[in-house]
Structure 1
Amino acid sequence: MALALWLFSVCSLPALAAHPRGEAASTLAFVFDVTGSMYDDLLQVTEGAAKILESALGRASTPISNFALVPFHDPEIGPVTVTSDSKRFQRELRDLYVQGGGDCPEMSMGAIKQALEVSQPRSFIYVFTDARAKDYQLTKDVLQLVQLKQSQVLKWVERTIQVSKVHLLSTDHKEREEHLWLVPFDPNLKEVTISLSGPMPTIEILDPLGRFMWRGLGLNELLNIPNSARVVNVKNPRPGMWTIKLRSTGRHSARITGVSSIDFRAGFSTKPTSDFQKTSKRPIQGIPTHVLLNCSGLHPPGQLDQLELLSTSGETLMNLPIRPNSSQNTNTIWKVPEFMPPNENFFLKVTGYNREGYRFQRLSSVSYTNLVPGPPVVSMPRQTHCYYMQPASIRCSVKSLIPFTLRIIRNGTRIDSDRLFLGSVNTTWEISSVSGADEGFYDCVAISNSGTGIARTFLVVTGE
């Protein structure tokens, strides 16, 4: 999750404080940012929200009469769900999905306003987003509603977007474990956020000088939900190798993110290329793969030197050297030798040195899965027209992510030698001089390791 938190100053009461006896029950409301930039955080955030819900339901001293869920993304808010059925509320929470976005400021104030409007007085409004408000002009209205209803807007989650959110570590574990991570913090990191979700989360941090970081003494605690999640933050960390010990007593997830202008994106291809337009977002299963890297914010003589493929639990699957792309004179495009992608989900981690010689690492924001190719898709025109004693071309189009063999068949017999193609192609078979005997059906058959595709055309001979 690794998201910074900010609380309305007028709403700094303890979360889920008990109501005095005889007062009306309140609403537990979640306001969720479902824009694309939340993709990698949404699962963990919804899990944390589920823990908040579970905690609220388990407190007899905190009467909750109903629940509200307000998703938002630019430019829309909703649909708003208000229900007294906790199970339905949990289903709606699980069914949240990210939508288009990426535009930094979002419609969060309007969403909070709607949550306050549908909630009972003295309610609890949890807001989850990684962006500042676009509709800040509604701030006054929101604060008036907060004061009028005496509600608490809690755990406002925002990201300062003057520079980018970057990822340093992302791991998921199914059991009780303790992990010690050595992570280089470079001078370009303006802040680092460490989050751990799971039962009894414990975070211990040592700076490069071996000093423990304590809350209030260089370490900011952003979120602490007992037995569920903890998020801490370090502003302007000292450059060097930091030691981070994470521990949980059950299934847990860890995220380390930062704020930095140095980041990268990756493209996959089946053959070497220096053009990102010719790459795809996922590798193809079982096919040798090349990776093209675009590193932003890295100035000469800074360089990338290693690409590491990591499992979702943080284990190294493969190490590959990174080389500058010889066809580019910039410090942004880098290439990696051909490799066979692993059959499991994996992250990409790049390491290198900045222009001052400090080591840095960055992790892909999402894990990659192999694209499993389907059978070739073959198409031909329903009819192919030609003239007697004239040349004819029989056209065939094949779409395939992997190599395939192509053959032309008439009446069950091959009429030409097979052809091998490495990927999608438009091709033709030529008949130098058409006779009446050439009229009839022709089949174009593409055969790959993923299956067979076939299409048929009828050759019409005119003027015999």
Structure 2
Amino acid sequence: MARKLHNPRHTIMSPVLGITLMALALSGPTMAFAPIGGGASTHVSITGAALLQKVKETCRAVAEASGHEFNPTGNSAEELVQACLGFTATGEVSAAKFRSALQEIYVQNGLIDRDFINSAPHHFNSEAFVEGRRLITNGVASIKANLRNENFQAARETLGRVLHTLQDFYSHSNWVELGNTEPYINLIRPDLPLENLADVDTATCSDCASGTCPNPILPNILKEKKLTSGYMGLFSSAKPKGKCSHGGASDLTSTVVPRGGINKDERHPNQAFHTAAVNAATTASLQLLEDIRGAAGDNDFLRMMGIARSSVLCFVIDTTGSMSDDIEEARSVVYEIIDSKKGTQDEPSEYILVPFNDPDFGPMIRTTDPNEMKNEISKLRAKGGGDAPEMCLSGLQLALTGAPASSHIYVFTDATAKDIALKDTIVALITSTKSTVSFFITGASKRRRRSLSASSFNDYSDLALASGGQAIKVSKRQLPQATQVILDTSTSALVTVLQRAREPKKQETFPFMLDGSLNNITLYITGTSITFTLTNPAGVSQSHSEASGKLGTIQSVGNLRRVRLNADQQGGTWQITIYSKQPYTLKVTGQSTITFIYDFVEAFQGPHPGYAVISGRPQAGQPATLLLSVMGRKGPSSMTIGEVGLVTVSGPEDVSNGTTTDMGNGDILVTVARVPEGEFVVMLKGNDIVSNSQFQRQSTTQMSVSKVNIRAVVDSSVEPGETFSLPFSVMTQGSGGTYTIKAKIDRSFTIDFPSSLTLTTGQYTNATLTITPPVNTPSGTDATLTIEAKSSSSADSNYIVLKLSVITKVTDFVQPLCEVVSVADNCPEDVSQCEPFQWELSANLTDGNGTGIESITLRRGDGSLSHSSLSAPIIQAAYNASCCSQIVEFVAVDKVGNVGKCYHSIVRSGGPPALTLSLPLWLCLLVSAFMARS
């Protein structure tokens, strides 16, 4: 139900955790083909090294195209993002979205070694070359289709899986034993044949009694350059006669003659082949990333990688007849944010608008263009409605599934949610996305249908609290004052210092720690009949009745108290003492680049043991394990970590500190032996070396544990009009019996599933869910599926959130071709005299019998590029530039994402004139890879 306005072209359980980028970039000599487990040598290392290099290349290209220099001050993710974004806007730059994007890719990369452990094609085992390549090429087609629709999360998840399979080819086959030092380009080129494959009757290995022979490949296989890979048997020792085994303790075939194995997952026993495999896998990863970058364009490639201004403006607005004042205020806020924050890091990188009414909601409107957002919100009109509740939660569901993770979403309504049955689904999506939802709920007016009931307000309050947001209740006249909160939180590098909720009739004091990196520190208190006193570390106090005092300014509107501290306030331990006879919430925020991201994880076993990210609630009755990635102002070296634990938000405060294992480079594995009862958040304390001050940070999304567990994994994309079957399993460690099953999808797809399952304690019960997208569903459409299981008493429940991609089968694999027709080069031999002179190039571009060329963009060169109509059979391109800009490269992308390039250089080196090149993509990539290493 999404409508896109702008397309910039310029699980069993869920995922396996990865280490952070800097650990990867520095771990080249010890890389291994294994998931996380025993150190910093992993599949993730290879992926991270390639991602880091490609992101740097892209950032440099974007900077140079804008006339700026790209000069990171160091190698940390924080400094890379600052250099990549800092030249376009001023202000604080957070690396959280970049690190989160990397983790999503690593997570899916590692998932292959758990959920597809026995699948030969996913690992290029057992000579499954054709099937393995199909996984890669189908995956790349899916990535490109998702990027065209700006479905970046779906693209990242598929990218992680595809990279794992591609990298395994070099470790599990005999490619490097055959003397190859460059990647096998045919793996990412489905229009090229897979050649010289050993057939099933051809023996490939000699016997290795010790199991650790340096090269057991038969001499005739090496001489004839036959391609083979090791057979892997986790449950059976059977393999064709004379075939190589994968090898290792988990491979039962390795004890059958010919014994041993040819995998190069570890350095021992053959470091030379291992190193060659790592190098080839890294270069192959770079080739694949370059192909995706060419299809997406530099801007969307960086957006996929989470490199964009961190603020996203997302409004969900009730458009019924009584909401005209609210719509006008929302419009005013959008205009103010766009106009006041332009040119700063606080300027939103994306705008999302979801209207809702009764019985309609949507469409979701997404754009990166602020003028488009102004135009769309100006079109909103209040109409219809009466006393009926509205489809508020349906609109919110669209926003949660369409907005990037960790977004701030603002809901405007004055009515009860008609679709309150979606409440559990909304909580699941909030927890999964870690997004924050705030409600602006307006009261009676002359046009008001009826007052919102207390129970309906509590529903909105529950959702706001679960997300770390606020439920702000004001009159329509007061709304313009309350929306200051949106201006506060639509900002870059926003962090939460403290968050609490209480229902006492007693006074309580809350301490919180402010550090030297914090700016724009603001306290929010929601509730009625509240009195409070704020005290700084020096003992200076200010009460709720002092609108402007020594510590800050206090604004009161509706049920909101907003306290903005003065800019000169000192760091240290502050405290606020609050008294209220009614429920209230407290939240302390600020701007800082010191922050963290986290996931709850669990260990898994197998040939490559490691940790997996938990989708849904962690399991009750056992310790909780978390992976934290902590970011400082100058990277991990600019801070030290102190306490990490879980703390309750509501009721009597319960803190459970964990034991920490430093994994290096800002990554921390935390084990909490006793999990607090009820809802809790993650608390982190440490020391900022730059300002020599202690800091405190807290997550916003509330979490709890469950005795229910749901397993499911999406193993392929979905075709339009075709029914997709998804097996899933449910188990409880609590009381057995009947459990209600609910499944929700954010698209108008036909979905069928059992409404209940009978569970036996400690045993998984299997079931199947089917999804059928309409036949006219555009390729690249993504869908978010939520499956919930709840006990008959509703005392316990859990959920799993899955992403599905609808992809039309691709049959066009032909790359656009470029033929340089003429070059007019009157440039002087002396480059220092280049300024007055120009050179020109003309080229013809065609797409053969393919889908047609969709875009032609300049990749390198400071000149101007023009071309004839893209609908013509032969497209004529013309380029002219100063003789000071001597290299040109432009990229042609067809309608399914195949990429072709034109490259020409007039650089003189004292020899004959430069050769005019018309290169297909694969050759360009090989040249680029060679130049990058030389």
Q: Note if 1:449 corresponds to 2:762.
A: yes
Q: Note if 1:82 corresponds to 2:382.
A: yes
For the Cα contact (< 8 Å) 2:645–2:657, is it kept in 1?
A: yes
For the Cα contact (< 8 Å) 2:728–2:766, is it kept in 1?
A: no
What do residues 100-149 of structure 1 show as CA deviations (whole Å, max 9, x unaligned)?
324999999xxxxxxxxxxxxxx9xxxxxxxxxxxxxxxxxxxxxxxxxx
The Cα of 1:182 is off from its aligned counterpart by 1.2
Q: Which residue of 2 aligns with 1:369?
A: 704
The Cα of 1:254 is off from its aligned counterpart by 1.4
The Cα of 1:452 is off from its aligned counterpart by 3.8
For the Cα contact (< 8 Å) 1:375–1:450, is it kept in 2?
A: no
What do residues 215-254 of structure 1 show as CA deviations (whole Å, max 9, x unaligned)?
434555464125x221111143311111212232211111
Q: Secondary structure at the match of 1:238?
A: coil
Q: Note if 1:284 corresponds to 2:618.
A: yes
Q: Note if 1:234 corresponds to 2:565.
A: yes
What do residues 351-372 of structure 1 show as CA deviations (whole Å, max 9, x unaligned)?
1111144221111021113355
TM-score, normalized by length of structure 1? 0.51
Cα 1:377–1:183 shift into 2, 3 Å: closer
Note the 1:173-252 alignment, pairs <5 A.
173-213=502-542, 214-221=546-553, 223-225=555-557, 228-236=559-567, 237-252=569-584
Q: Secondary structure at the match of 1:300?
A: helix
Q: Secondary structure at the match of 1:187?
A: coil
Q: In terms of mean alpha carbon deviation, does 278-287 or 292-301 score higher?
A: 278-287
Q: Which residue of 2 aligns with 1:159?
A: 488
Letter of the aligned partner of 1:300 in structure 2?
S
What do residues 333-391 of structure 1 show as CA deviations (whole Å, max 9, x unaligned)?
1121353544521111111111144221111021113355347679xxxxxxxxxxxxx
**Matches of 2:730 and 2:629, distance apart in 1:** 23
Q: Which residue of 2 aligns with 1:319?
A: 657
**Matches of 1:107 and 1:181, distance apart in 2:** 27
Note the 1:46-195 alignment, pairs <5 A.
74-75=366-367, 82=382, 87-88=387-388, 91=390, 97=396, 98-99=399-400, 100-102=402-404, 154=481, 155-156=483-484, 157-159=486-488, 163-195=492-524
**Matches of 2:698 and 2:616, distance apart in 1:** 16
For the Cα contact (< 8 Å) 1:180–1:245, is it kept in 2?
A: yes
The Cα of 1:206 is off from its aligned counterpart by 1.2
TM-score, normalized by length of structure 2? 0.27
**Matches of 2:656 and 2:408, distance apart in 1:** 39
Q: Which residue of 2 aligns with 1:345?
A: 679
Q: Secondary structure at the match of 1:158?
A: helix
The Cα of 1:288 is off from its aligned counterpart by 3.5
Q: Secondary structure at the match of 1:271?
A: strand
Letter of the aligned partner of 2:650 in structure 1?
S
Moved over 6 A (4+): 69-73, 103-108, 375-378, 397-404
The Cα of 1:177 is off from its aligned counterpart by 3.6
For the Cα contact (< 8 Å) 1:104–1:161, is it kept in 2?
A: no
The Cα of 1:282 is off from its aligned counterpart by 4.5
**Matches of 1:454 and 1:161, distance apart in 2:** 43
Q: Note if 1:28 corresponds to 2:325.
A: yes
Would you tell me which structure has more strand in proportion to its own residues? 1
Would you tell me which structure has more helix in proportion to its own residues? 2
Q: Which residue of 2 aligns with 1:306?
A: 643
The Cα of 1:212 is off from its aligned counterpart by 1.7
**Matches of 2:610 and 2:515, distance apart in 1:** 27
What do residues 240-291 of structure 1 show as CA deviations (whole Å, max 9, x unaligned)?
1112122322111111111111111111112299x99932355422243311
For the Cα contact (< 8 Å) 1:166–1:365, is it kept in 2?
A: no
Q: Which residue of 1 aligns with 2:906?
A: none
Letter of the aligned partner of 1:82 in structure 2?
A
Task: Supply the RMSD in Å over aligned alpha carbons.
Answer: 4.9
**Matches of 2:395 and 2:581, distance apart in 1:** 28
Q: Runs of 5+ in structure 2 lacking a partner?
A: 1-321, 335-360, 368-372, 411-446, 448-477, 714-725, 734-758, 769-934
Letter of the aligned partner of 2:640 in structure 1?
Q
Cα 1:87–1:277 shift into 2, 3 Å: farther
Letter of the aligned partner of 1:101 in structure 2?
A
The Cα of 1:81 is off from its aligned counterpart by 6.8
Q: Percent identity?
A: 16
Q: Which residue of 2 aligns with 1:254?
A: 586
For the Cα contact (< 8 Å) 2:646–2:656, is it kept in 1?
A: yes
Q: Secondary structure at the match of 1:270?
A: strand
The Cα of 1:199 is off from its aligned counterpart by 1.0
For the Cα contact (< 8 Å) 1:308–1:316, is it kept in 2?
A: no
Number of aligned residues = 293
**Matches of 2:613 and 2:409, distance apart in 1:** 34
Q: Which residue of 1 aligns with 2:695?
A: 360
For the Cα contact (< 8 Å) 2:647–2:656, is it kept in 1?
A: yes
For the Cα contact (< 8 Å) 1:324–1:334, is it kept in 2?
A: yes
